[in-house]
Amino acid sequence: MKTLFKGTLFLLLLLPTTTFAQQVLTGTVIDATTQQPIPGANVLVQDTSNGTTTDFDGNYTLNNVADDAVLVFSYLGFKTQTISYSGQNALDVSLEEDAAELDAVVVVGYGTVKKEDATGSVSVITPKEFNKGAVVAADQLIQGKVSGIQVINGGGSPGEGAQIRIRSGSSLNANNDPLYVIDGVPADSGGIEGGRNPLSTINQNDIESINILKDASATAIYGVRASNGVVIITTKRGKAGDMKVSYNSSYSVATIANKTENLSTSQFRDFVNANGNAAQIALLGDQDTNWQDLVYRDAFGTDQNVSLSGGKDFFTYRVSTGFSSYNGILKRDKFERTTLSAALTFKLLDDHLKIDINNNTSIIKSNYSNRDAIGASITFDPTQPVYVDGNNYGGYFRWTQNNGSLDPNSNTNPLALIEQTDNMGRAFRSIGNVQFEYKMHFLPELKAVLNLGYDNLSGRSYGGTDAEYNSPNNDGTQIATTYNNVENKENKVMDAYFNYNKYVESIKTQFDVTAGYNYQDFRYPTSFFTDNGNGVFTEVNNETRLNLQSFFGRINLTHNDKYLLTASLRRDGTSRFTENNRWGNFPAAALGWKINKEDFLNESDVVSELKLRLSWGITGQQAVGDIYPSLPLYQTGTNTSSYQFGDQFVQTIRPQPYNSNLVWEETETFNVGLDFGFFNSRVTGTIDAYDRTTSDLIVFTNNPQGVGFSNADDYNIGTLENKGLELSADVYPVRNQNWRWRVGGNITFQESKITKLTLIEDPNYNGIDTGGFTGGTGNTIQNHQEGFAPSSFYVFEQAYNAAGNPIDGVYVDRNGDGIVNSDDKYRYKKPASDVYYGFNTDLSYKNWFFNMSWRGSWGNYNYNNVDSSLGFENALLTFDTYISNGVTNVLDTNFENAQYLSDYYIQDAAYLKLDNATIGYTFDDVFSDLSSLTLTATGQNLLIISDYKGIDPETYGIDYNLYPRPRTFLLGLNVNF
Amino acid sequence: MKNIQLTFKFFAVLFTILLVSCTDDLDQSDPDSESLLSSEEVYSNPDTYIKLMAKLYGGLATTGQEGPAGNPDITGIDEGESQYIRGLYVLQELTTDEAVIAWNDKTIKDFHNQTWTSGDAFINATFNRLDFQVKNCNEFLRQTTEELLDSRGISGDLRTQIGSYRAEARFLRALSYYHFMDLFGSVGLVNEDSPTDFFLPEQATRQQLFDFVETELLAIVNELPEVGALEYPRADRGAAWMLLAKVYMNAEVYTGTARYSDAFTYVDQIVNSSYTLHDSYEELFFADNDKNGAQNEFIFSVAFDGVYTQTYGGTTFLTHAPVGGNMNPDNYGVNGGWAGIRTTSALVNKFELGVDQRDQFYTDGQSLEIQDISSFTDGYTISKWRNIDVNGEPGSDQTGEFVDIDFPMFRLADAYLMYAEIFLRGGGGTQADALGYVNAVRQRAYNGTTAGNIPSGELNLDFILDERARELHWECHRRTDLIRFGKFTGGSYVWPWKGNVPNGAPTPSFRNIFPIPANSIAGNPNLNQNSGY
Contact yes or no for A540 and B519 at CB 8 A: no
Helix (H) / strand (E) element for A906: namely: strand A906-908
State what percent of residues in chain A have pLDDT above 90: 62
- Residue of chain A whose alpha carbon sits nearest to that of B73: A710
Beta bridge partners of B367: B378
Name the residue in chain A with its Cα closest to that of B21.
A519
B17 to chain A, any CB pair closer than 8 A? The answer is: no
Q: Closest Cα to residue A788, out of A826, A763, A751, A753?
A: A753
A119 Cα to chain B: minimum distance (Å): 30
For the stretch B180-226, pLDDT in tens is 999 999 999 999 999 988 999 999 999 999 999 999 999 999 999 99
Question: Are B197 and A661 an interchain contact pair (Cβ–Cβ within 8 Å)?
Answer: yes
CB–CB of A765 and B339 under 8 A? no
pLDDT greater than 50 at residue A14: no
Collapsing DSSP states into helix, strand and coil, what is residue A360? strand
% of chain A beyond a pLDDT of 70: 96
- What's the pLDDT score for residue A25? 86
Beta strands in A222-314 (DSSP E): 230-235, 241-255, 299-311
Measured in angstroms, the CA of A186 and the nearest CA of chain B are apart by 18
Model confidence at B7, pLDDT cuts 50, 70, 90, reads low
Interchain CB distance below 8 Å, B522 and A759: yes
Q: What are phi and psi of A238, to 5 degrees?
A: -80, 160
CB contacts of B190 in chain A (<8 Å) are 706-707
Residue B438 phi/psi, 5-degree rounding, is -60, -45
User: pLDDT at position A132, please?
Assistant: 85
Subunit contact B523:A704, Cβ cutoff 8 A: yes
- Say whether pLDDT at A911 is over 50: yes
Interval B337-347 mean pLDDT: 95
pLDDT band at B1 (very low <50, low <70, confident <90, very high): very low
CA distance B515 to B533: 6
DSSP 8-state symbol, A943: E
Residues of A in contact with B107 (CB under 8 A): 821-822
**Contact between B454 and B435 (Cβ < 8 Å):** yes
Give the pLDDT of residue A33: 67
**Cβ <8 Å between A401 and B328:** yes
3 state SS of A476:
coil
What is the pTM for the complete model shown?
A: 0.87
pLDDT (tens digit, 9 = 90+) per residue, A790-818?
Answer: 999 999 999 999 999 999 989 999 999 88
Query: How many beta-carbon pairs below 8 A join chains A and B?
Result: 343
> What are phi and psi for residue B431, nearest 5 degrees?
-65, -40
Best residue in A643, A811, A882 to probe B by mutation, most B CBs within 10 Å? Answer: A643
- CB-nearest partner of A409 from B124, B336, B398: B336
The whole-number pLDDT of residue A542 equals 86
Best probe of the A interface among B161, B308, B514, by most A CBs < 10 A, is: B308
Q: How far is B427 from chain A (nearest CA, A)?
A: 35
- pLDDT of residue A15 exceeding 70: no
Query: What is d(CA A296, CA A376) in angstroms, rounded to the nearest whole number?
Result: 12
The Cα–Cα gap between A161 and A425 comes to 15
Nearest to A430 by CA among A367, A499, A361: A361
Nearest chain A residue to B120 by CA: give it.
Answer: A822
The CA angle A265-A268-A269, to the nearest 5 degrees, is: 85
Residues 471..530 of B with a Cβ closer than 8 Å to A: which? 500, 518-525, 527, 529
CB-based contact B27 A579, cutoff 8 Å = yes
Among B48, B58, B523, whose Cβ lies nearest the Cβ of A759?
B523
Cβ contact, residue pair B136, A654, below 8 Å: yes
pLDDT tens by residue, A653-679: 999 999 999 999 999 999 999 999 998
The pLDDT of B492-499, averaged and rounded, is 96
For residue B8, give the DSSP letter: H
Q: Using CB atoms and an 8 Å cut-off, which of residues 842-901 of chain A contact chain B? A: 874, 878-881, 896-898, 900
For residue A227, give how far its alpha carbon lies from the nearest alpha carbon of chain B (Å).
21
Instruction: Say whether pLDDT at A11 is over 60.
Output: no
**pLDDT at A933 exceeding the cut of 80:** yes
Looking at this predicted complex, what is its ipTM?
0.96
Which positions in chain B touch A580 (Cβ < 8 Å)?
Answer: none
The 10s digit of each residue's pLDDT in A452-502 is: 999 999 999 999 999 999 988 878 889 898 888 889 999 999 999 999 999
Contact between A401 and B23 using a beta-carbon 8 Å cutoff: no
Compare CB distances from B199 to A545, A659, A707 and report the shortest one's residue. Answer: A707
How far apart CA A674 and CA A779 sit, in angstroms, is 46
Cα–chain center distance at A330: 23
pLDDT tens sequence across A506-550: 999 999 999 999 999 999 998 777 665 556 677 878 899 999 999
What's chain B's average pLDDT? 94
Show residues of chain A in contact with B208, CB under 8 Å: none
Mean pLDDT of chain A: 89
Cβ distance of A638 and B18 shorter than 8 Å: no
Whole-angstrom distance, CA of residue A939 vs CA of residue A847: 20
Averaged pLDDT for residues A705-731: 93
pLDDT band at A5 (very low <50, low <70, confident <90, very high): very low
User: What pLDDT, in 10s, does the model give residues A219-256?
Assistant: 877 867 788 899 999 999 998 888 999 999 999 999 99
B39–A632 C-beta distance less than 8 A: yes
Distance from CA of A58 to the nearest CA of B (A): 53
- pLDDT tens for residues A64-123? 888 778 888 887 667 778 888 877 888 888 887 665 444 577 877 788 888 888 888 888
What's the confidence (pLDDT) of residue A2? 42
Give the pLDDT confidence of B437-471 residue by residue, as tens digits: 999 999 999 999 999 999 999 999 999 999 999 99
| Chain A residue nearest residue B394, CA to CA | A474
In chain B, which among 355-414 make CB contacts under 8 A with chain A? 365, 372, 374-376, 393-394, 398-400
- The confidence score (pLDDT) of residue B113 equals 95
User: Which 8-state DSSP code applies to residue A778?
Assistant: S
Per-residue model confidence (pLDDT) at position A721: 95
pLDDT-derived band at B5 (thresholds 50, 70, 90) equals: low
Name residue A249's beta-bridge partners.
Answer: A304, A973
CA B12 – CA B21 distance, rounded (Å): 15
**A168 Ramachandran zone, left/alpha/beta (phi>0; psi -120 to 50):** left
Q: What's the pLDDT at A725?
A: 97
Of residues B35, B75, B308, nearest to A540 (C-beta): B35
- Of A179-193, A387-401, B287-301, B511-525, the one with minimum mean pLDDT is A179-193
B14 interfaces chain A, CB cutoff of 8 Å: no
The per-residue pLDDT for A70 is 83
Higher pLDDT: A533 or A709? It is A709
pLDDT in tens, B246-266: 999 999 999 999 999 999 999
Reported confidence tier of residue A278, pLDDT bands at 50, 70, 90:
confident
> Which 8-state DSSP code applies to residue A450?
E
Q: Kindly report, residue by residue over A353-364, the tens digit of the pLDDT.
A: 999 999 999 999
- Candidates B65, B74, B518; nearest CB to A765: B518
Tell me the mean pLDDT in the region B126-135. 97
Q: Using the beta-carbon criterion (under 8 Å), do A643 and B307 form an inter-chain contact?
A: no
Mean pLDDT of B379-408: 96
What is the pLDDT at residue B90?
A: 98
Helices assigned H by DSSP within A586-625:
599-602
**3-class secondary-structure state, position B96:** coil
Residue A173: per-residue pLDDT = 81
* Residue from A833, A832, A830, A853 nearest A841 by CA: A853
